[in-house]
Amino acid sequence: MPKTDLKALSQEEINSYTKDAGLPAFRSRQFIHWIYECYAQSIEEITEFSKKLREELSERAYISNLILLNRQTSKDGTQKFLFGLDDSETIESVLILDEDRLTLCISSQVGCAMGCRFCLTGRFGVKRNLRPHEIIDQVISVNRLILPKRITNIVFMGMGEPLANFDNVVEAIVRITGIMKMSPRKITLSTCGIPPKIIELGKKGLKVNLAISLNATTDAVRSVIMPINKTYPISALLEACRKYPLPVNRRITFEYVLLKGTNDSPEDAHRLIRLLQGIPCKINLIPFNPYSGSEYERPDEKTVMQFQDIVLKADMTVLVRRSKGQDILAACGQLKTGYHSYVSV
Ligand code: SAH
Ligand code: SF4
C-alpha cells in the first residue's frame, strides 16, 4: 500500500486517518499542530511522539514538502521562492514586505491557460492544476523559512488562474482559514473574470476578498489583451461582480494594468468610472511591468498620474501600485518558470 501523505489530508481526513490507525483522537490535533504550526517536514521531526511511534508511523505515512530550488531577494526586500513539486514541475511564490504586513503571493496552477497577452505566465500555457496541499505548502514552507516571522496576508496573484482550478483553490482556502486559522479578510483571490465561477465562489461563503483583473474599458480592447473576454464580455463580468455577496464594509478590488497607448487614455479613465458605478470597489492601477520580449510598454509617469487624477475626481478610491521586486522578475505578471521542469523525467 502506498504511504499516506499527512500534509495532503483535510481536517476530516486526518481525523479518520488517526482513527483507522488505532490512535487516540488527540493525535490528530498533534498532527495538525506539528505540520501547520511547527512546519514539521518529516514524521521524524515530531519530537512530541516517542521514537517508537515515529518509526511505526513512518512505515505507513510521511509528510510531503515543496523543494526549495531558489530564493532571491530584491533590492526592495521582496523575496521570490522557486519551488519544485513531486513531479518535477516548478512554481514561484513571492513575499512582499509592507510595513507590518508580510504578504505572500501564491500560485494556483503550473502556468496559466488564459493567455493574456501582456502576461509572461500566460505565454507558456498551463501544465497542471496545483493540489490543495501544494497551494497551502507555499505558505507553510515560506513561514518555516522566515521564522520567527509569519505571513500575515495571502494573495492568489502568482502563477495561474485560481478560478480555473476552482475545487482545489476552494479546498485550500477552507484549510488555510480552518486548520491554519487565518482570517479570510487577509486572503485575496484575483481572477481574470470567469462569471459563473465568481457566482459559485460567492455561494461558498468563504468571505475572502475578490480582485478582478479588468485591464480595459471596452470589449474590443479587452478581447485582444484578455482572450477570456470573448467568452465573457465586460458586462457579464461586472454583473457577476454586482451579485458577489460582499461582507459588510468590504469592496471588490479592480486591477488595471496600464499599457502604453492601449488602455491608458483619459477616455479610458472616464469609461472606467462609468463602468464601475454602483459597485463598492477600489481600483489598483498597475503600470505594466516589462520583461524581455514583451510587446507592450509602460506608460510614462505623467500619463499614469493623469489617469489616476481623473478617477480620483470621481470620488473613487484609486491607488497606483508600484510593483515590487522587478529586478528579480517577481512583480505581477513576471512569474514564468513554472513551465520548465527542473529534473528531466
Ligand atoms: N490569474 C489571476 C491572478 C494572477 S495575475 C488574474 O489574472 O487576476 C495577477 C495580476 O498581475 C493580474 O491583475 C494581472 O493583470 C497582472 N499582470 C499580469 N502581467 C502583468 C505585467 N506584465 N505587468 C503588470 N501587471 C501584470
Ligand atoms: Fe493567467 Fe492572470 Fe496571467 Fe491572465 S493575467 S495569463 S489569467 S496569470
DSSP string computed for 188-226: EEEES--HHHHHHHHHHT---EEEEE---SSHHHHHHH-
pLDDT at position 327 is 72
Is the distance from CB of 94 to CB of 105 less than 8 angstroms? Answer: yes
Query: Amino acid identity, residue 51?
Result: K
For residue 200, indicate whether it is catalytic.
no
Is the distance from CB of 175 to CB of 121 less than 8 angstroms? Answer: no
Assess whether the previous peptide bond of 247 is cis (omega < 30° from 0): no
pLDDT at position 292 is 85
User: Which cell goes with 153?
Assistant: 496576508
Q: Which ligand is nearest to the CA of 338?
A: 2
**Residue 286: phi, psi to the nearest 5?**
-120, 100
Pocket flag, ligand 1, residue 284 (CB < 6 Å): no
- In the set 89, 92, 161, 255, the catalytic residue is 92
Pocket flag, ligand 2, residue 122 (CB < 6 Å): yes
62: β partners: 5
Return the DSSP state at 327.
G
Q: What is the CA(60)–ligand 2 centre distance, in A?
A: 40
Is the distance from CB of 326 to CB of 97 less than 8 angstroms? Answer: no
Q: How far apart are CA 86 and CA 110, in angstroms?
A: 13
What are the CA-CA distances from residue 189 to residues 9, 46, 53, 73, 337 (Å)?
23, 33, 40, 25, 21
pLDDT at position 30 is 97
Give the burial class of 108: count Cβ atoms within 10 A of its Cβ; 0-12 exposed, 13-18 middle, 19 or more buried: buried
Query: Amino acid identity, residue 204?
Result: K
pLDDT at position 336 is 63
Is the distance from CB of 104 to CB of 333 less than 8 angstroms? Answer: no
pLDDT at position 271 is 98
Q: How far apart are CA 190 and CA 105, in angstroms?
A: 10
pTM attached to this predicted model: 0.94
* Short-list 241, 250, 186, CA closest to 214: 241
Render each residue's pLDDT in the chain as its tens digit; 345 residues. Answer: 899 999 999 999 999 999 999 999 999 999 999 999 999 999 999 999 999 999 999 999 999 999 999 999 998 899 999 999 999 999 999 999 988 899 999 999 999 999 999 999 888 899 999 999 999 999 999 999 999 999 999 999 999 999 999 999 999 999 999 999 999 999 999 999 999 999 999 999 999 999 999 999 999 999 999 999 999 999 999 999 999 998 888 999 999 999 999 999 999 999 999 999 999 999 999 999 988 889 999 999 999 999 999 999 999 999 998 777 777 666 666 666 433 334 322
* Short-list 124, 125, 126, 154, CA closest to 139: 154
CA 336 to chain centre: 14
Q: How far apart are CA 181 and CA 183, in angstroms?
A: 6
Pocket flag, ligand 1, residue 215 (CB < 6 Å): yes
